[in-house]
């Protein structure tokens, strides 16, 4: 006999499998056999909630990370008893059993850092010491947070917690960032102002606050450089330095970017208040009495300062932070500059004869005495609203003011020329009447105001994670000089003199001799009546910088054999910079109305 029954086609087989799958999913939906686990991870030692604590379900591939408020969530957990394990750098990992009911959310809060309870001891038993736990200091807590962020970051990143360094007297983020690998701080007038990364110039290192561009209006021209001395570190929680650009990074980040994360009210379980008061002084002047300053009146060089910070979680739905501070600092800016012919400066064979690198000679010596007084004010506030289980809205305002008065005086000795045989590495005798003396003064003041209001929404759901934000930052720079009673720059000169350097060592010549070129009479280079004023200038710069940021994105993680994350969004940034000002020249003349480069008697 022959079996005449036909085998089902491939299409029929796939249709049957698909139908069975749909029916199984429908039955599962009608009779859910899974639930979820959610809760918060709390650090008892630090008194705050932990961000990016790693949680796993034993026997599965599921893992989750806590958010900035310590919240975590597992979905699709089989009903029954399951083991939840939590890990955070610097703390002992913990494992707990959680009962999951079908179709229900099991709430499991985790407290880390607490010591185990002592076990009762029977009379006559041997005494056994309990576990000895060393409490972590504030600095170690900050280091652990930073290391944990780096451990689980999706790209190459260095993180430093602001608390790790304690009180930063001058308040600038650059004094914290300079210790990070790959970071080079560019200093100007003793201030850590700009950042370069891995050899890339500062114009290609974006600086953001919570992901929003920070405006900067001081001394940048039309470039993209952001000055850090206009911002205070007191209002931020940590600094993130990303070395590997990602698809969502701006095009200007050639080597990476820097993001300063503001404080959040949900970092703590209970209110936390810190404050400090301090005195600031430099080695150049440690006197408590008033001494000569940048203005016409003496000022104090030992100055007081303070800062404060409050993190207040009012309840599970609302909290706020408030921080601020004031610092005042005096700094001397003394400097000497040596010009060596045959070393760093070329010879010409005529006025400056040729020499070999092992026999350079000093042709110019300049000494500068400078004073700078800086005052900073900062104030920041954040309002955090948790209007749903997975949604948080944060309103943040950062404001700072920077004021600086500076004054410097530079005296330059130029030999003008040297005859062959009149020089050694230890002495130089200039050609008669070819030398000159130049006295230059520079002074002024500048005021900077920067503020940054931002609004940010975060959604941390069981399936989707999304965020959106809008921010506006504005910085204003004003400079001047005449209002303080001096010019931005002045110069006075005495020509036709003979200059000689003797007893030269690595820093400067120990003896400088100046004589009149015509008479050979010794000349005192420190008497103002031996000079003639040649010119002066005044500057009144006014710069404004505006940065607008708007972004929104959403992402979803797929926990398959090969982990996959899909993320999409939009990012709009606009920068407007307005630069104004001019240099006004002044020419000084005597009573006869004629300018001169030599004093008139």
Q: What are phi and psi of 101, to 5 degrees?
A: -100, 145
pTM of the model: 0.73
Q: For the residues 299-318, what does the mean pLDDT come to?
A: 88
Contact 148, 52 (CB under 8 A): yes
The segment with the largest mean pLDDT, out of 180-189, 425-434, 572-581, is 425-434
| C-alpha dihedral (233, 237, 240, 246), degrees to nearest 10 | -120
Q: Using an 8 Å Cβ cutoff, are 551 and 571 in contact?
A: yes
CB of 519 closer than 8 Å to CB of 568: no
* 406, two tokens: 């500076």
What's the pLDDT at 297?
A: 78
**DSSP readout, 294-314?**
SSSS-B-SSEEEEEEEEEEE-
CA–centroid distance for 335 within its chain: 27
Tokens of 101: 């009911």
In which band, very low, low, confident or very high, does the pLDDT at 480 lie, cut at 50, 70 and 90? confident
Pairing relation of β-strands 191-197 and 63-65?
unpaired
- pLDDT value of residue 160: 77
Report pLDDT for 143: 57
Mean pLDDT of 215-242: 80
Range 397-435 burial, b when 16+ CB lie within 10 A, else e: ebbbbbbbbbbbebbbbbbbbbeeebbebebbbbbbbbb
Question: Pick from 43, 45, 35, 40: which is nearest to 108 by CA?
Answer: 40
pLDDT tens string 326-383: 988 888 888 999 999 998 899 998 999 999 989 999 999 999 988 888 888 999 999 9
Per-residue pLDDT tens digits for 55-82:
888 888 788 888 877 888 888 888 888 9
Average pLDDT of the residues in 3-32: 49
φ, ψ dihedrals at 597, nearest 5°: -100, 0
Which of 244-258, 338-352, 456-470 shows the lowest per-residue confidence on average (mean pLDDT)?
244-258
> Which is more confidently placed, 167 or 565?
565
Using DSSP, state whether 586 is helix, strand or coil: strand
> Is the pLDDT assigned to residue 421 strictly greater than 80?
yes
The residue among 177 and 136 whose pLDDT is bigger is 177
Q: Which has the closest alpha carbon to 279: 230, 324, 326?
A: 326
Winning range, highest mean pLDDT, from 4-18, 45-59, 396-410: 396-410
Q: Return the HEC string of 323-334.
A: EEEEEEEEEECC
Element (H, E) at 143: helix 138-151
Confidence band, pLDDT 50/70/90 cuts, at residue 115: very low
Residue 523 or 462, more confident: 523
Please report which helix (H) or strand (E) contains residue 11, including its range: helix 10-30
Instruction: Give me the pLDDT at residue 118, please.
Output: 45
pLDDT number for residue 418:
96
Least-confidence region, from 158-162, 348-352, 442-446, 502-506: 158-162
The pLDDT score that the predictor gives to residue 27 is 43
Contact status, residue 363 vs residue 338, Cβ threshold 8 Å: no
Q: What's the DSSP call for residue 90?
A: T
Alpha carbon distance 239, 172 (integer Å) = 12
Would you place residue 123 in the very low, low, confident or very high pLDDT band (cuts 50, 70, 90)? low
Structure confidence by residue, pLDDT tens digits, 125-174: 565 655 544 444 444 455 566 666 666 666 677 777 766 666 676 677 88
Average pLDDT over residues 512-541: 91
Quick one: average pLDDT of 470-494?
Answer: 89
Higher per-residue pLDDT: 513 or 567? 513
pLDDT at 462 over 60: yes
What pLDDT shows up at residue 249? 76
Give the largest Cα separation in the chain, rounded. 141
**Is residue 280 over pLDDT 90?**
no
- Listed range (76-85, 134-143, 297-306, 454-463) with the worst mean pLDDT: 134-143
Q: 3-state class of 335 per DSSP? A: strand
Confidence of residue 417 (pLDDT cuts 50, 70, 90): very high
What pLDDT is attached to residue 485?
80
Among 172, 208, 221, CA closest to 193: 172
């Amino acid at each position: 006999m022959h079996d005449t029954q036909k085998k089902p086609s491939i299409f029929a087989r796939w249709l049957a499998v698909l139908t069975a799958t749909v029916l199984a999913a429908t039955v599962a939906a009608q009779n859910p056999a899974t639930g979820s686990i959610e809760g918060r991870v709390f650090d008892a030692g630090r008194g705050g909630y932990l961000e990016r604590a790693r949680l796993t379900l034993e026997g599965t591939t599921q893992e989750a990370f806590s958010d900035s408020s310590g919240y975590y969530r597992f979905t699709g957990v089989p009903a029954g008893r399951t083991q939840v394990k939590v890990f955070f750098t610097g703390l002992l990992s913990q494992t707990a059993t959680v009962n999951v009911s079908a179709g229900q959310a099991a709430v499991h809060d985790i407290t880390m850092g607490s010591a185990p309870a002592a076990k009762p001891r029977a009379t006559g038993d041997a005494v056994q010491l309990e576990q000895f736990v060393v409490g972590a200091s504030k600095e170690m807590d900050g280091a652990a947070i930073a290391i944990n962020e780096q451990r689980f970051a999706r790209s190459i990143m260095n993180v430093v917690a602001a608390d790790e360094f304690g009180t930063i007297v001058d308040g600038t983020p650059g004094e914290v960032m300079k210790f990070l690998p790959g970071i080079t701080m560019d200093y100007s007038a003793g201030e850590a102002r700009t950042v370069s990364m891995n050899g890339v110039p500062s114009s290609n290192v974006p600086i953001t606050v919570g992901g929003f561009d920070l405006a900067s209006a001081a001394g940048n021209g039309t470039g993209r450089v952001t000055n850090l001395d206009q911002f205070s570190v007191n209002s931020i929680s940590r600094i993130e330095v990303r070395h590997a650009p990602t698809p969502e990074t701006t095009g200007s980040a050639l080597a990476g970017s820097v993001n300063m994360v503001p404080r959040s009210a949900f970092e703590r379980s209970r209110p936390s208040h810190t404050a400090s008061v301090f005195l600031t002084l430099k080695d150049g002047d440690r006197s408590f009495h008033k001494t000569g300053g940048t203005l016409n009146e003496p000022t104090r060089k030992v100055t007081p300062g303070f800062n404060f910070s409050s993190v207040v979680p009012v309840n599970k739905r609302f909290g706020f932070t408030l921080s601020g501070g004031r610092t005042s600092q005096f700094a001397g800016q003394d400097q000497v500059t040596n010009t060596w012919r045959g070393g760093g400066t070329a010879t010409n064979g005529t006025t400056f004869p040729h020499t070999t690198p092992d026999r350079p000679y000093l042709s110019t010596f300049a000494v500068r005495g400078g004073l700078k007084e800086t005052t900073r004010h900062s104030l920041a506030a954040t309002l955090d609203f948790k209007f749903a289980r997975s949604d948080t809205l944060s309103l943040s305002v950062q404001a700072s003011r920077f004021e600086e008065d500076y004054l410097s005086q530079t005296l330059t000795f130029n030999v003008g020329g040297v005859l062959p045989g009149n020089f050694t590495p230890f002495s130089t005798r200039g050609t008669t009447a070819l030398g000159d003396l130049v006295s230059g003064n520079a002074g002024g003041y500048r005021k900077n105001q920067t503020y940054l209001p931002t609004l940010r929404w975060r959604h941390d759901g069981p399936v989707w994670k999304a965020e959106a934000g809008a921010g506006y930052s504005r910085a204003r720079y004003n400079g001047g000089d005449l209002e303080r009673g001096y010019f931005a720059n002045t110069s006075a000169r005495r020509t036709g003199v003979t200059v000689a350097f003797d007893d030269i060592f690595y820093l400067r010549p120990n003896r400088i001799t100046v004589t009149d070129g015509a008479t050979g009479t010794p000349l005192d280079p420190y008497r103002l009546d031996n000079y003639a004023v040649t010119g002066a200038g005044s500057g009144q710069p006014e710069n404004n910088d505006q940065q607008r940021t708007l972004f929104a994105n959403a992402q979803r993680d797929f926990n398959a054999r090969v982990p996959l994350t899909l993320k999409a969004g939009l990012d709009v940034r606009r920068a407007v910079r307005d630069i104004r000002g001019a240099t006004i020249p002044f020419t000084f003349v005597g009573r006869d109305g004629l300018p001169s480069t030599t004093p008139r008697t």
